[in-house]
Amino acid sequence: MSWLGAEEWQAVALSLKVAFWAMTLSLPLAIFVAYALARWQFAGKQIVNGLVHLPLILPPVVTGYLLLLTFGVTGPVGRGLDLIGISFAFRWTGAALAAAIMGFPLMVRAIRLSIEAVDTRLEDAAATLGANRLMVFATVTLPLALPGILTGAILGFAKAMGEFGATITFVSNIPGQTQTLPSAIYAFLQVPGGESAAARLVVISIVIAMTALVLSEVLARRVANRMEGT
Amino acid sequence: MTPAALSVHLQKEMAGFALDIGFDAPSGLTVLFGASGSGKTSVIDAVAGLNRAASGRVALGDTVLMDSATGLHVPTHLRRLGYIFQDARLFPHMTVRRNLNFARTVSRAPADPTEFDRVVDMLGLSHLLARRPARLSGGEKQRVAIGRALLARPKLILADEPLAALDDARKAEILPYFERLRDESDVPILYVTHSAPEVARLATTVVALDAGRVIRQGSAAEVLGDPSFAPGGDRAMGAVIEARVKTHHDDGLTELDAGGLPLLLPHVAQSPGNRLRLRIAAQDVILSKTRPEGMSALNILPGTIADIRMGDGPGAVVSLDTAAGRVLARLTKRSVHSLELRQGSEVFAVVKSVAVAPGDVGGPAR
C-alpha cells in the first residue's frame, strides 16, 4: 500500500487490532449479560441495565476521564493491575478497553433482543429431552440467537473502529501506540497540508465499515437460510 | 400392592378456579379428557416439571418425580420424559436427523443405530432425515416429534393434544402410531385431548376433567358409555364398542363381528381376525320397537334399555345394552314418550353403516 504513509498504515493496523480485541473479549460477557437481562429475574436488574447503557448516554469524554481515574497509573484498579503486569494507560490495550466499554451497550442490546426472540417453548422441549440448562443454552438458545449475536459483534466492532472521545481522553493520541483511525484523521486535520492523508483514511474507514456491514448481512442470511432451508 | 404406573395428585390456584385433581392410572395410555380451560395442560406441565406452581405429588411407579410435602422436585431434564407437544416444537436450526438424535447428543450416550432405524422405519421418516423442520408438513413434523420423544428412551410419554393442530387426514395418519405405542411398549402414556373420538380409539384409562376436578375415571367404554357424562354436549356423545373383523365383501363393505352381532362398515384396512374399537355417535342411532324392515340402514342391534336420561331441552339420551356392548342413542323426549320407552324395554338400535366414521375406527384394542 504505497499510497499510504507509514503513520497512516500504522493507524489502520492499530485500529483493526484494537477493534478486534475489544469485540472478541467483550462478546462472551455481552452474551452473558444479555442472557441475564433477557431471562433472569434478579434484584438490581434495573441497576445492571442502567450501568450497561451508561456509556451510550454519557459524553464519551466523561467515560474516558472515568477510565483514566480508574485504570490510569495512579487509579486504584490501574495500580493493582500494574503489579501483575497489565497496564492500560497510554497503551493500545487502553484503547481496546475504551472501545470495548463504548461498544458494550450496543452489543448487549442487539444480543438481548435476539435472545428474547428465542421461543422458550423450544427450550422447554429441550429440557424434556434431557438437556440441562447449560446444554439448552448451548444447543438451542445460542444457535437460535446467532443472527443477533453476529449483529451485536459487528456493531461492537464498528463502534470500536470509530471510537474517539473516550479513547483520546483515556490514552491520548500517540502515533503507533494509541493513535487509531479517528485520532489519526483528527491529527492530520490539525496540521497544514494534512487534508489528503485525512481523506485517504476517511476512504479506508468507509471501506472497512461497509465490509463489516456486508459481512454481517451475508452471515445473518446464511444463518437464516440454514433454518428455513432443506 | 404394586404402585400405579402413574400417580398424580395436584393442587394449584388457577384463574377462575382451583385445580385439585388426583388419579392413579394403570399402565397403558391414560387420556386426560376435558374441554379447554379444564386444567389439562397445567396437569401435564406439572408432571413434566415445566410448571412448578402446583403443589402435590407425582410418582411414576416407584419413582417420585415431585412431592411438595418433602420439597422434592426432580428437574425436568432428569425425569426421563418423551413429551410430544401440540405444536411439535422441533428445533428449527437442526435437521430431522439431529432433532431425532437430540436426546442422545445431550446425554452423551453412544448412538444406537438399530434403535434409530427401528423408530425411523416405524414412523416412515427415512426420506426426511436431511430436511429441516421448515420444509416438513404438519403431519411430518408431528411424526418427527414422536420419533424424537421415543429416541429419548423415556420412562413416561406425555402428549399434549398432539393431533389438535392437524386436519382430519393428518389425524388419521398419526393416530395409528399412538395405538402402536400403547400396544407395543410398556411405557405409560399420558395423553391430553378434548376429542371424544381420540379417547374412544386410544384410551386404556380415561380421566375426565372439568373446571379443575376429576369428574370421571374408567375405561373408554365405561366413561363414554355413561349417558350422564357429556363433556362436549349431547351432540358429541358416542359409545365405544369392540369388534372383530370378519370378512371383506366384494362391494367394498367390511363385515365385523361385535359380540355375535354382524356390523357392516365401509372398507376397514384391517385383516380378518383383528380386533378394533368403534365409536358410534349417539345422534347416528335410531331406536325402533320392532325389528325394522325395508330400511336402507344395514346395522340393527337388538338390546334392552338400561337407562333413559332426559335432558334440559327437548332431547333425551337412551342407554341400550346390546350383545355388542353399551350403545347410546340420542332422540327427542317426544319420541321417548310416543314409543313408550322405559327401563327394561326391548328395542332395536339402527345404525347407518356410513355413520361410523373411518376416523373413529381404532386399531387392535388392548
The CATH number assigned to the domain holding A86 equals 1.10.3720.10
Cβ(B188)–Cβ(B157) below 8 Å: yes
CA angle A191, A195, A199 (to 5 degrees): 140
Give A2's pLDDT tier (boundaries 50, 70, 90): low
Q: Which residues of A touch B75 (CB under 8 A)?
A: 127, 132
CATH topology of domain B238-360: OB fold (Dihydrolipoamide Acetyltransferase, E2P) (2.40.50)
Looking at the complex, report in whole angstroms how far the Cα of residue A140 sits from the nearest Cα belonging to chain B: 7
Using CA atoms of B138, B139, B140, B143 in order, give the dihedral in degrees to the nearest 10. 120
Domain-located, residue A214: yes
CB atoms within 10 A of CB B296: 7
Whether residue A71 lies inside any domain: the answer is yes
Does an H or E element contain B72, and which?
A: strand B72-73
Distance of alpha carbon A106 from alpha carbon A22, whole angstroms: 13
Question: Is residue A131 less than 8 Å (CB to CB) from chain B?
Answer: yes
Q: Which letter, b or e, does each residue of A38-76 get, where b requires 16 or more Cβ atoms within 10 Å of its Cβ?
A: beeeeeeeeeebeebeebbebebeebbbbbbeebbeebe
What are the grid coordinates assigned to B171, written together?
389425524
pLDDT-flagged residues of chain B (< 70): 1-3, 230-236, 297, 353-366
pLDDT tens-place string over residues A76-96: 888 888 778 788 878 899 999
Residue in A135, A143, A230 nearest the CB of B131: A230
Quote the pLDDT of residue A5. Answer: 80
Q: What is the mean pLDDT of chain A?
A: 89
Q: Of how many residues is chain A composed?
A: 230
Q: Cell 473502529 belongs to which residue?
A: A161
Question: B254-290, pLDDT tens digit by residue?
Answer: 888 888 888 888 888 788 888 888 888 888 888 888 8
B278–chain A nearest CA distance, Å:
34
Residue-level pLDDT at B290: 87
Q: How is residue B29 written as a grid cell? A: 395410555
User: Using alpha carbons only, what angle is made at residue B316 by residues B311 and B318, rounded to the nearest 5 degrees?
Assistant: 130
Give A128's contacts in chain B (Cβ within 8 Å): 48, 50, 76-77, 79, 81-83, 152, 158
Residue spans in chain B of domains classed CATH 2.40.50.100: 238-360
How far is the C-alpha of A75 from the C-alpha of B281, rounded, in Å? 84
Buried b (16+ CB within 10 A) or exposed e, B210-225: bebbbbbbbebbebbb
Average pLDDT over residues A115-120: 93
- Predicted confidence at residue B230, as pLDDT, reads 66
Starting from the edge strand earliest in sequence, which strands make up the sheet with B63-67, in order? B18-25, B6-13, B55-60, B63-67, B72-73
Contact B134 A228 (CB under 8 A): yes
Total domains in chain A come to: 1
Is B6-224 assigned to CATH 3.40.50.2300?
no
- Grid cell in block for residue B286: 335410531
Per DSSP, helices labelled H in chain A are 6-39, 45-57, 60-71, 76-83, 92-116, 120-128, 133-136, 142-162, 165-171, 181-190, 195-228
Host domain of residue A186? 6-228
Disruptive mutation site among B45, B85, B89, B128 for chain A (greatest number of A CBs within 10 Å): B89
Distance from CA of B172 to the nearest CA of A (A): 25
The answer to whether B160 contacts chain A (CB < 8 Å) is no
A217-222 LR contacts (CB < 8 Å, sep 24+):
A219/A150, A220/A147, A220/A150, A220/A151
Contacts 24+ apart (CB under 8 A), A84-93: A88/A170, A88/A171, A89/A171, A90/A171, A90/A172, A90/A174, A90/A177, A90/A178, A91/A171, A91/A177, A91/A178, A92/A14, A92/A17, A92/A18, A92/A171, A92/A177, A92/A178
Q: Using DSSP, state whether A80 is helix, strand or coil.
A: helix
Burial classification of residue B334, based on how many CB atoms lie within 10 Å of its CB (0-12 exposed, 13-18 middle, 19 or more buried): exposed
CA-derived radius of gyration, chain B: 22
pLDDT of residue A1: 47
Residue type at A48 in one-letter notation: V
DSSP structure class, residue B310: E
User: Do the domain assignments include residue A1?
Assistant: no
Q: Where in chain B is the domain with CATH 3.40.50.300?
A: 6-224
Q: What is the full DSSP assignment across B221-284?
A: HHHHT-TT--TT-GGG-EEEEEEEEEEE-TTSEEEEEETTEEEEEE--SS-TT-EEEEEEEGGG
- Is residue A184 domain-resident? yes
- State whether residue B91 sits within 8 Å of chain A by CB: yes
Is B107 in CB contact (< 8 Å) with chain A? yes
